[in-house]
Amino acid sequence: MALDSKIPKGPIKDKWTDYKNHINLVNPANKRHIDVIVVGTGLAGGSASATLAELGYNVKAFAYQDSPRRAHSIAAQGGINAAKNYQGDGDSTYRLFYDTVKGGDYRSREANVYRLAEVSANIIDQCVAQGVPFARDYGGLLDNRSFGGVLVSRTFYAKGQTGQQLLLGAYSAMNRQIARGKIEMFNRHEMLDVVVVDGKARGIIARNLVTGEIERHSAHAVVIASGGYGNVYFLSTNAMGSNVTAGWKVHKKGAYFANPCYTQIHPTCIPRSGDYQSKLTLMSESLRNDGRIWVPKNLDDVKAIREGSKKPTELTEDQRDYYLERRYPAFGNLVPRDVASRAAKERCDAGYGVNATGEAVYLDFVASFERYGKEQAKIQNISNPSEAKIKELGQEIVKAKYGNLFQMYEKIVDENPYETPMMIYPAVHYTMGGVWVDYNLMTTIPGCYAIGEANFSDHGANRLGASALMQGLADGYFVLPYTIGDYLADDIRTGKISTESSEFEAAEKEVTERIEFFINNEGTHSVDYYHKKLGKIMWDKCGMSRNAEGLEIAIEEISALRKDFWQNVNVPGTSTEYNEQLAKAGRVADFLELGELFAKDALVREESAGGHFREEHQTEDGEAKRIKEFQFVSAWEYKGEPKDAVLHKEELAYENIEVKERSYK
């Protein structure tokens, strides 16, 4: 099947408006005869469920958590971008569009990104109307901060808990519709397959995670909003339950999977401390607004610090290497995430890592304490303030901005970041790849949509900070509700979809058989044993930098590990009870397939772009080197084993932005 991105004709700034003017609409009286299933209740799924229900569709929403409010969007800290230009610093829709395409290393689809930038401002209006308590200045107007990879302040925030507040906003909109009976909520339910009838997505098979019951649910369209697949690495900043299963199941039923190798490794996470580690914790990128990143200049100092005979605070300015400021004077500590992560890895690989594992760099706030402190002293008319007073005043400001992050750091690491610099190291955070979708956000299965992190469309090879929240809400509140109507307009006379068809029967049988296999296998190794092994292969060979040799080995190793898993995995308990190990077995089985496709995708993409860094393709000073021939989206068609997947290319055309070497110097 040839890929058709269905991008509307016309100038980029008119595409979305023209599109909306010409699509088919569903009459309000007919919407009540149409059912939509939404899998996932994060920012994308929650906002989509609420809006679709408000429009009049009957929504069935599914979450594996015990409440929609717990989806992992809640953990996003820093903020949400919007081209409001409230700061009057020259921001515009075009500039947000430009920054996002450039930040994505020219591997995203122009029309989608422009639309995203266009609706971004409206998101803020919407959220304020919902009662989201964004940070404000003393005049009562909304405050902004700046994020990596941009030259304006366009990020709106609610302390370090922006994702939480936006998600609770979407959750409150859902609650309104649940109360009206327009959303039927299925908590503690996991989608285990999609059901395709006559070529169209018509329902799902779900498992009740409390009773183990397998359920059939039908609908006229199915929306996948299940987030990203960062947990393929075992250790990531994702929630423990985050998984690829929903996306992978639709892939196996005909949806192409795009750019699986594009993964974001976030530069500011708390370094790992031991083998028992179950997840990694992110410190918001907003910290890079006020923190300076460094390692010692001399290896002797590194050694002394690791041994504990020297403290980082004892090093003078000229003994420190502020390597981001040195290498990227224009953007300094605010270079995009992929650049910052690779730079940290480069220093640590060269032996400058500052903790016992050699995988940590400093994030230091001393300069900000001083800068803010002096400013405050002036404001408060304190003449000749002592150094201690300046520090105290400065720390108050920093505390007001990032207090909860500092507290979190101290709880985890047991060190006071007001007194000694934080230690950070990159960790897997977000996956730009995902289910391939066209301009309508529809996958290659008619009637099956993918939104938010689950799709691939907006961030290219690297996502800018504060853009995930923007995309999730844009897709759910403002894009999907239009595009899905155009499709559903043909379904007004279809009537209720039966769950008694042979297609539902077959899908349920497959799901049940797999579950019975796990329960009856009685193997020798736990599910986590395999997940950890997979994670290690992924991190070592498909992590921050990749090469052909490593990727080829990874493919072999993952394939062998998968075989071992299907022979020797041990799942305790029964299938008719609350059984977390069983749920996890299914997720890891899918990760074991995705992981191999991931490596294959990385191998085929013989260039460096954004988060995908191929060692064979770098400039003289170690920057990512894009190659013109790879200016396409890799969309993979399922053909059984991951090694047999067939590549389809969506060529990317840049008509409104000149493709340049991405430079932050």
Residues of this chain, 186-245, that bind other proteins according to CB under 8 A = 187, 210, 237, 239-241
Which residues are within 8 A (CB) of 281 and not within 5 positions of it... i.e. 6 or more apart? 237, 269, 270, 408, 412
Binding-site member from 3, 116, 168, 538 for other proteins (CB under 8 A)? 168
Does residue 412 bind other proteins (CB under 8 A)?
yes
Q: How far apart are CA 120 and CA 197, in angstroms?
A: 36
Does residue 308 bind other proteins (CB under 8 A)?
no
Instruction: Map the footprint of other proteins across residues 107-126, applying CB under 8 A.
Output: 119, 122-126
Taking residue 67's Cβ as centre, other Cβ atoms within 10 Å add up to: 12
449 forms beta bridges with 223, 442
Q: What is the 3-state secondary structure (H, E, C) of 331-349?
A: CHHHCCHHHHHHHHHHHHH
Instruction: Map the footprint of other proteins across residues 623-662, applying CB under 8 A.
Output: none
Does residue 581 bind other proteins (CB under 8 A)?
yes
Instruction: Map the footprint of other proteins across residues 560-579, applying CB under 8 A.
Output: 570, 572-573, 577-578
**Dihedral pair phi/psi, residue 215, rounded to 5°:** -120, 150
Output the six-digit token pair for 422: 């934080």
Shortest separation between residue 173's beta carbon and other proteins, angstroms? 5
Instruction: Draw the binding track, 420-439, toward other proteins (x: CB under 8 A; -: no contact).
Output: --------------------
Of the candidates 427, 434, 429, which has an alpha carbon nearest to the alpha carbon of residue 452? 434
Which residues are within 8 A (CB) of 18 and not within 5 positions of it... i.e. 6 or more apart? 8, 10
Does residue 6 bind other proteins (CB under 8 A)?
no
Tell whether the torsion through CA atoms of 604, 607, 611 and 616 is positive or negative: positive
Shortest separation between residue 151's beta carbon and other proteins, angstroms? 22
DSSP secondary structure letter of residue 244: S
Catalytic residue among 115, 145, 288, 337: 337
Q: Which stretch binds other proteins (CB under 8 A): 340-348, 387-395, 403-411, 592-600?
A: 403-411
Q: How far apart are CA 226 and CA 451, in angstroms?
A: 8
Q: How far is CA 413 from CA 277, 281, 305, 424, in A?
A: 13, 11, 16, 11
Does residue 399 bind other proteins (CB under 8 A)?
no
Counting residues that bind other proteins (by CB under 8 A) gives 80
Closer of 407 and 663 to other proteins (Cβ): 407
Does residue 56 bind other proteins (CB under 8 A)?
no
Binding-site member from 24, 273, 313, 498 for other proteins (CB under 8 A)? 273
Instruction: Map the footprint of other proteins across residues 122-161, applying CB under 8 A.
Output: 122-131, 133-142, 158-159, 161
265 forms beta bridges with 428
Closer of 89 and 580 to other proteins (Cβ): 580
Shortest separation between residue 225's beta carbon and other proteins, angstroms? 15
Closer of 569 and 635 to other proteins (Cβ): 569
Binding-site member from 87, 208, 215, 279 for other proteins (CB under 8 A)? 279
Of the candidates 127, 140, 132, which has an alpha carbon nearest to the alpha carbon of residue 158? 132
Closer of 142 and 553 to other proteins (Cβ): 142
**Dihedral pair phi/psi, residue 421, rounded to 5°:** -60, 150
Q: Residue 497 CA to chain centroid, in angstroms?
A: 33
SS3 152: coil
HSE-up of residue 529 (Cα within 13 Å, Cβ side) = 13
H-type alpha helices, 414-491: 468-473, 480-488
Binding-site member from 23, 75, 304, 561 for other proteins (CB under 8 A)? 75
Of the candidates 185, 188, 182, which has an alpha carbon nearest to the alpha carbon of residue 35? 182
Binding-site member from 43, 44, 50, 206 for other proteins (CB under 8 A)? 50
Binding-site member from 477, 518, 591, 630 for other proteins (CB under 8 A)? 477
Does residue 589 bind other proteins (CB under 8 A)?
no
Binding-site member from 72, 220, 429, 662 for other proteins (CB under 8 A)? 72
Instruction: Map the footprint of other proteins across residues 319-378, applying CB under 8 A.
Output: none
* Catalytic residue list contains 605: no
Output the six-digit token pair for 606: 């013989």
Instruction: Map the footprint of other proteins across residues 516-555, applying CB under 8 A.
Output: 526, 528
Does residue 69 bind other proteins (CB under 8 A)?
yes
Catalytic amino acids? 337
